[in-house]
Amino acid sequence: MKARVAVLAGDGIGPEVIAEGLRCLRAIAGLFGHEFELTLLPFGGVAIESHADPLPESTLSACLAADAVLLGAIGGPKWSAPQAPLRPEAGLLRLRAALGTFANLRPVRVHAALADASTLKADVVQGVDLLFVRELTGGIYFGDKHRDAERATDVCSYTAAEIERITRVAARLAQSRRRRLTSIDKANVLETSRLWREVCTRVVAREFPDLTLEHMLVDAAAMHLIRAPRDFDVLVTENMFGDILTDEAAMLAGSLGLLPSASLGEGRRGIYEPIHGSAPDIAGRGIANPYGTILSVALLLRLSLGLDAEAGALEQAVAAALGDGARTPDIAPAGTRALSTREAGEAVISRLQRPG
């Protein structure tokens, strides 16, 4: 098949991990006979420097014309001052809104070979396989904002329609897994959470009676993720809570660098990115973990391009590399040799096999 992928390498370690993701995409294309048109585009801090805009119109147009978007990471100290007129994150919010990617999927699986990489005990994290579904285009990140010298305000707002559509996404995914859905909110304090709980309950009861639905307050969920993470199957939550909890959940797997994500809308086009940030402290050193990016490429293949066998082959190659001890510094045991970013990518590519 032929497909167009818009590539937004971004800032910090973004270009380093994206380079390995692209090598894997090209390897898949060669192995399975596909043709992928990969277009590198300015985005984030580097786009502020070159275009005075974190999301130039030319970049947005190319993303809208692509079959999928592959994103590295954005941001850094250069653009994070409180008075900064332009921020990379503003471009990301605009991109999500423009592409209508309201559902962010963040799978958390603990590879058997990496149980020792987590800061938690192995018997706590072994067998963890959960999926966060985070609402991505509403809530406090998109609400009205105001700040002066004495006061700042960020408005958190949700409509019933926004809650209904993200609940349906999460519920359909739960039906394909273990049929357990946990909705996370702060309904004891927030009116938006009270509406969230009410709408979620109604949608599941009417449309997904085969599911077991549980409501959990966000603080209790944060504790339960550390105490008994295997209890969870699919978790659905609003924007800010999902942002925070998925970073916490990454520690179950051992590193932020291991986890992929997919941001989807009503169609097949999505934005695919590892959940980590730009990590400016290690940028340029060649030691960033590319596995989250490579697994995001697998999600891109499966969800936007419909190439399930190819996605599975890439995921199996990652699992084989990790099983054989191919680890970057963030997950390497003390006293063992850690691989560079490129070496980790090569470890995956060398294990790629066409099924059958």
Active site residues: 141, 186, 219, 243, 247
Report the distance separating Cα 269 and Cα 303, nearest Å: 8
What's the token pair of residue 126? 């072994």
Helix (H) or strand (E) segment spanning residue 162: helix 160-175
Q: What is the DSSP string of 95-153?
A: HHHHHT--EEEEEEE--GGGGGGSSS-HHHHTT-EEEEEEE-SSGGGTS-EEE-SS-EE
Report the distance separating Cα 236 and Cα 177, nearest Å: 14
What is residue 28's three-state secondary structure? Answer: helix
CA 49 to chain centre: 26
- Cα angle 39, 42, 44; round to 5: 135
Report the distance separating Cα 69 and Cα 211, nearest Å: 32
